[in-house]
Amino acid sequence: MRYTKKVSVWPVGLVGGLRWEGPICVNGAVVEFYVAWRPERPMPVDMAGFAINAKLLIDNPEVEMDPFAHRGYLESSIVSKLANRDEFEPLTDDCKQVCEAKFNTSLIVPVNLEVIYSRTEVCTKYVFVPT
């Protein structure tokens, strides 16, 4: 995230009833999003699946999240004002790695933790056992 110029994106595990959701990338470009809930959203990204360069926010003080946005559209309310989909910067090896997950510990049990080191990020790989 440190090198984000505008908006970086990455997949998030265990979101929206899916094992993962997030951008699908080809050669460093976001071509579509794999999401189950409201795929028609302008920017169907999870709140945990993007980063905005702070300087971009400072340089555009009029841009803010819409507190009245409909459920699921809060992310779109700010991201779409700062970058187009073709300007998204995919992280985690062209969005092929899931490096964070949302989970309810009563439903999903991490049974094997293995830390994977790559050039710029540290990912935690979980093996999940359904209950």
pTM: 0.75
H helix runs in the chain, sequence order: 54-59, 74-82, 92-95
Active site residues: 75
Greater confidence, 122 or 84?
Answer: 84
Q: Are 116 and 125 in contact (CB under 8 A)?
A: yes
Does residue 65 lie within any of the structural domains? Answer: yes
**Domain enclosing residue 81, as ranges:** 7-102
Does residue 83 lie within any of the structural domains? Answer: yes
Does residue 86 lie within any of the structural domains? Answer: yes
The domain total for the chain is 1
Does residue 120 lie within any of the structural domains? Answer: no
Does residue 130 lie within any of the structural domains? Answer: no
Q: Return the CATH number at 77.
A: 3.90.550.10
Does residue 13 lie within any of the structural domains? Answer: yes
Does residue 70 lie within any of the structural domains? Answer: yes
What 79-86 contacts at long range (C-beta under 8 Å, 24+ apart), as own/partner pairs, is 79/7, 79/43, 79/45, 79/50, 79/52, 80/42, 80/43, 82/6, 82/7, 82/52, 82/56, 82/57, 83/6, 83/7, 85/30, 85/43, 86/29, 86/30
Q: What is the pLDDT of residues 80-112, one digit of tens each?
A: 999 999 999 999 888 888 887 776 544 444 433
